[in-house]
Amino acid sequence: MGLGINMNNGFVRVAAAIPELRVADCAYNASRMADLVRKGEEEKVQLICFPELSVTSYSCADLFFQQQLLDDAKKALNELQMLTFSTTAVIIVGMPLKVQNQLFNTAVVLQGGHILGVVPKTHIPNNNEFYEKRWFAPAKSTDVQTITICSENVPFGTNLLFSDGKFSFAIELCEDLWVPIPPSSQHVLHGADVIFNLSATNELIGKHDYLRQLIEQQSARCVAGYVYASAGAGESTTDVVYAGNGLIAENGKIIASSERFSFEPQLIVSEIDIERLQADRLRNTNFTNDKSNEIYRTVKLEDAHFTQFELKRSFDKHPFVPPLQNREASCEEIFSIQVGGLAKRWKHTNAETVVLGISGGLDSTLALLVSVKTADKLGYDRKRIIGITMPGFGTTDRTYSNAVNLMSSLGITMLEISIKDASLQHFKDINHDTNQHDVTYENTQARERTQILMDIANKHNGLVIGTGDLSELALGWATYNGDHMSMYGVNSGVPKTLVRYLVDFAAHQLDKISEEILRDVLDTPVSPELLPADENGDIAQKTEDIVGPYELHDFFLYYMVRFGFSPTKILFLAKIAFIETYETETIEKWLKVFIKRFFAQQFKRSCLPDGPKVGSINLSPRGDWRMPSDAIAFSIND
């Protein structure tokens, strides 16, 4: 037996349907809704939500009191019920329904030829252009739990969860979303992953933007998917106009939307990542079962077999990088977090100086920019920043010049201390062949640089500022007790893709000379420069040739740590995101490298210096990430 909703790598495909309707013409409306159901079947949609009162149309007014309309609505519902014998999707339609001596505005859930449940509207508006209380009773006005409709006894009430054991959804209707505590807030505490809202929101100046914000905020607050289908073309325009809003949101972000004011029927389709939502809830201790007196009833979804589908959604290749339209505000905020952290530590320690190594690379450049901004914020002389360039066996003229020129242009105290002689002496002390360019050769230089920084800091009552970034910490791309160590790591919460973004942003804020230097830093290959340059004097040791592209590793890091996704799902998402950039074999190769290094290098992260958390992910052993150093790496095929 198949599951009711077969999740494709954790995704379910949903749709907000905006049919062409006629006021009070139930047979016509049902036929147009059936067209969209069949279209949804072609697109392998698993759940389809129609607008509020879609069977009759929303704007029937006093016609709702006519028995003929109510009978026609039941006949139309029966037609849609018969349709679902030959389709696999769950469909949710809106219609008026008389229960005992009251009329309710309801959502009816159908699948596999059966009516699974009926949900009445909780909050009935009675203000301005809305006067639904003239016709409809609120859900709380009855204690009926089961009704008979289309010859079936079905659950009735707002406390219904529709579930197959792995995925659950619940329903609210229009006004329910706009009240201080929407029913969906209770639904998710009882286990609903997705909320469907059947609505008939009219258009007013500015209302659409507010509606989008409302849906985004509620989906974020509930850590849920939210599918909103609102009345459109065909509704009466006697007093108001309906634009046909179809919106699909996932945890605070609209991922699909309709064309407003269209006279064509629309099916807005996207996928909601249930595993992602459940992963967030797993970490959120507020998502425990609600202790209220209301008991929810679970309605089992019918078993159905769904074929696999290709996702319509796209995924950002650089999930850590803010969108360009928010660039200035986002970058200023990130810098403010880094500056705020360093400023507190600088003042708290009463350090006279801060000390950092300047290599001419991206990470040390960002750390220097943060240090300069911190000195300016505190009103300190920039000369209290001691930047040290420490040429070694792999230092190229390009990076050396950029380091020296940048320190000069920013007006800090500059020192130059070569590590060559000290490293050669150390090789002699430990009897290491200087022509053997192995890990000992490399790490000796990294540790010598760290010793210089620490001792200069002691000499000048200073604080050593770490320059390593989050991506390097994830990969363990740092020398243990070398560049791995500092007194405060300002970049420890910033992944490499974001480092590049921030340096690029900062280039626009500086003078022309400094901007030109930063541009060249951005164009320089990422390298620790611990191996001799090539025959042309260029960088021979390129990090991304060794450990792989940082944009891939940042993508892997984000989905593994932020959501706890399996390697198989991460590979699935990466193939979609990087389809035009890398071959599948390449992505899989570097994913295996990432996982192997991530697990093997935990011992370095277990003793990290302090540093500020910037985004949703941090690898501090005192905060976000606590992992045994001897854990076994995951298999990519798990």
Sequence-ordered strand ranges (E) for 344-484: 353-357, 385-389, 413-416, 462-466
Residue 288, pLDDT > 80, answer no
pLDDT class of 306 with cuts at 50, 70, 90:
low
Question: Mean pLDDT across the chain, nearest whole number?
Answer: 94
Residue 295, pLDDT > 60, answer yes
Q: What is the reported pLDDT for 96? A: 98
pLDDT digits (tens, 9 = 90+) for 149-171: 999 999 999 999 999 988 999 99
Residue 12, pLDDT > 60, answer yes
- Based on the fold, state whether residues 293 and 344 are members of the same structural domain: no
Which CATH number is 41's domain given? Answer: 3.60.110.10
Residue numbers of the domain that contains 108: 14-300
Q: What is the reported pLDDT for 193? A: 97
- Based on the fold, state whether residues 397 and 508 are members of the same structural domain: yes
- Based on the fold, state whether residues 206 and 290 are members of the same structural domain: yes
Q: Which region among 14-18, 228-232, 510-514 has the lowest average model confidence (pLDDT)?
A: 510-514
Q: Which of 94, 100, 112, 99 is CA-nearest to residue 41?
A: 112
Instruction: Give the domain-ending residue among 542, 563, 593.
Output: 542
User: In this structure, is residue 578 part of a structural domain?
Assistant: no
> Which residue out of 20, 60, 121, 235 is catalytically annotated?
121
Alpha carbon distance 333, 351 (integer Å) = 25
User: In this structure, is residue 176 part of a structural domain?
Assistant: yes
Q: What is the reported pLDDT for 1? A: 31
Contact present, 247 and 198 (Cβ < 8 Å)? no
Number of neighbouring beta carbons within 10 Å of residue 293: 5
Residue 293, pLDDT > 90, answer no
Residue with token string 């028995």: 67
- The number of residues in the chain equals 638
> Which residue out of 20, 26, 52, 271 is catalytically annotated?
52
Mean pLDDT of 472-479: 96
CA-to-CA separations, 114 to 79, 82, 154, 425, 567, in angstroms, rounded = 11, 8, 9, 83, 39
Q: What is the reported pLDDT for 527? A: 86
This prediction has a pTM of: 0.91
Non-local CB neighbours of 613 within 8 Å, separated by 6+ positions: 337, 493, 620, 623, 624
Q: Which of 275, 245, 123, 240 is CA-nearest to residue 184?
A: 123
User: In this structure, is residue 317 part of a structural domain?
Assistant: no
Instruction: Give the domain-ending residue among 489, 518, 542.
Output: 542
Neighbouring-strand partners of residue 169: 162, 194
pLDDT class of 565 with cuts at 50, 70, 90:
very high
Helices (H), ranges, 222-326: 274-283
Mean pLDDT of 453-458: 98
Q: Which region among 5-9, 111-115, 488-492, 554-558 has the lowest average model confidence (pLDDT)?
A: 5-9
Q: What is the reported pLDDT for 3? A: 44
Helices (H), ranges, 484-549: 496-507, 512-523, 543-546
Q: What is the reported pLDDT for 528? A: 82
Neighbouring-strand partners of residue 14: 47, 270
- Based on the fold, state whether residues 75 and 119 are members of the same structural domain: yes
Task: Assess whether 291 carries a catalytic annotation.
Answer: no
State whether residue 461 is helix, strand or coil.
Answer: coil
- Based on the fold, state whether residues 191 and 267 are members of the same structural domain: yes
Q: Fill in the amino acid letter for 215.
A: I
pLDDT class of 477 with cuts at 50, 70, 90:
very high
- Based on the fold, state whether residues 377 and 290 are members of the same structural domain: no
Number of domains composing the chain: 2
User: In this structure, is residue 312 part of a structural domain?
Assistant: no
- Based on the fold, state whether residues 362 and 239 are members of the same structural domain: no
- Based on the fold, state whether residues 364 and 218 are members of the same structural domain: no
User: In this structure, is residue 319 part of a structural domain?
Assistant: no
- Based on the fold, state whether residues 464 and 335 are members of the same structural domain: yes
Q: What is the reported pLDDT for 508? A: 86
Q: What is the reported pLDDT for 131? A: 86
Q: Which of 357, 391, 397 is CA-nearest to residue 524?
A: 397
Q: Which of 603, 617, 592 is CA-nearest to residue 279?
A: 617
Task: Assess whether 20 carries a catalytic annotation.
Answer: no
Residue 269, pLDDT > 90, answer yes
Residue 291, pLDDT > 70, answer no
Task: Assess whether 52 carries a catalytic annotation.
Answer: yes
Mean pLDDT of 110-122: 97
pLDDT class of 509 with cuts at 50, 70, 90:
confident
- Based on the fold, state whether residues 529 and 437 are members of the same structural domain: yes
User: In this structure, is residue 381 part of a structural domain?
Assistant: yes
Which CATH number is 426's domain given? Answer: 3.40.50.620
Helices (H), ranges, 430-566: 439-459, 470-475, 496-507, 512-523, 543-546, 550-563
Mean pLDDT of 408-413: 96
- Based on the fold, state whether residues 336 and 289 are members of the same structural domain: no
Q: What is the reported pLDDT for 482? A: 95
Separation of CA 566 from chain center: 16
Q: What is the reported pLDDT for 473? A: 97
Q: What is the reported pLDDT for 10? A: 92
Mean pLDDT of 269-275: 97
> Which residue out of 26, 49, 60, 174 is catalytically annotated?
174
Residue 638, pLDDT > 60, answer no
User: In this structure, is residue 57 part of a structural domain?
Assistant: yes
- Based on the fold, state whether residues 251 and 329 are members of the same structural domain: no
524: left (phi over 0), alpha (psi -120 to 50) or beta: beta
Neighbouring-strand partners of residue 198: 173, 229
User: In this structure, is residue 146 part of a structural domain?
Assistant: yes
Q: Which of 338, 415, 416, 413 is CA-nearest to residue 377?
A: 338
Instruction: Give the domain-ending residue among 542, 561, 583.
Output: 542
Q: What is the reported pLDDT for 302? A: 79
